């Protein structure tokens, strides 16, 4: 499922891939359901391609989201990431991913993770797995 969910640099929220065209993708916002085209100049990343730094190897975002889902019982995170202090964010993330790299993962990264998790939960997406037979959403350059 995460192969179809996209983050677009400069645009808030997450988007679902709807269709492909010549030099563009049609995406639908998971927040308000509005559709829009994205072009080759937009930096688009599928959530399946995102990972988080740990003390050992990097861990896929799908695994981090799964851990967050287990911690929160597949409900939205109750704390407001915009108002939460750095210590509160880091304490929450300690429970989700105990071996995260404290030098390379910033509070802003944890805020974004919580925002993305909440968007996915509110959109009814609770399966964070990446299936090998899913077609990858192509990144436009």
pLDDT at 132: 59
Question: Is the pLDDT at 29 greater than 70, yes or no?
Answer: yes
Number of folded domains that form the chain: 2
* Confidence at 131, pLDDT banded by 50, 70, 90: low
Indicate the pLDDT class of residue 141, thresholds 50, 70 and 90. very low
CATH number of the domain where residue 21 is located: 2.30.30.730
Instruction: Identify the domain containing residue 58 by its residue range.
Output: 50-122
The answer on 88 and 56 residing in a single domain is yes
- Burial letters 33-46, b for 16+ CB under 10 A, else e: eeeeebeeebebeb
pLDDT averaged over every residue in the chain: 90
Please return the burial class of 22, using the count of CB atoms within 10 Å of its CB with bins 0-12, 13-18 and 19+. Answer: exposed
pLDDT at 138 exceeding the cut of 50: no
Q: What is the pTM (predicted TM-score) of this model?
A: 0.88
pLDDT value of position 133:
53
Tokens 């996209």 identify what position?
6
Q: Which two tokens stand for residue 139?
A: 């990144």
Question: 76: how many CB neighbours lie within 10 A of its CB?
Answer: 13
71 and 109 both lie in a single domain: yes
Indicate whether 65 belongs to any domain: yes
What CA–CA distance (Å, rounded) separates 50 from 34?
24
- Rounded to an integer, what distance in angstroms lies between the CA atom of residue 48 and that of residue 46? 5
Q: Report the CATH number at residue 59.
A: 1.10.10.1650
28 and 84 housed in the same domain: no
Residue located via tokens 């959530």: 47
Q: What is the share, in percent, of the chain residues with pLDDT greater than 90?
A: 80
């Amino acid at each position: 499922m995460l192969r179809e969910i996209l983050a677009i640099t400069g645009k808030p929220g997450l988007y679902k891939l709807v269709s492909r065209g010549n030099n563009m993708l049609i995406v639908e916002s998971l927040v308000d359901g509005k559709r829009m085209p994205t072009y080759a100049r937009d930096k688009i990343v599928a959530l399946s391609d995102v990972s988080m730094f740990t003390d050992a190897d990097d861990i896929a975002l799908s695994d981090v989201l799964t851990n967050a889902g287990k911690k929160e019982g597949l409900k939205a995170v109750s704390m407001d990431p915009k108002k939460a202090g750095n210590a509160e964010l880091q304490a929450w993330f300690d429970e989700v991913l105990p071996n995260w790299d404290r030098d390379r993962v910033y509070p802003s990264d944890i805020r974004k993770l919580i925002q993305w998790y909440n968007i996915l939960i509110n959109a009814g997406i609770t399966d964070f797995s990446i299936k090998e037979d899913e077609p990858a959403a192509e990144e436009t350059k």
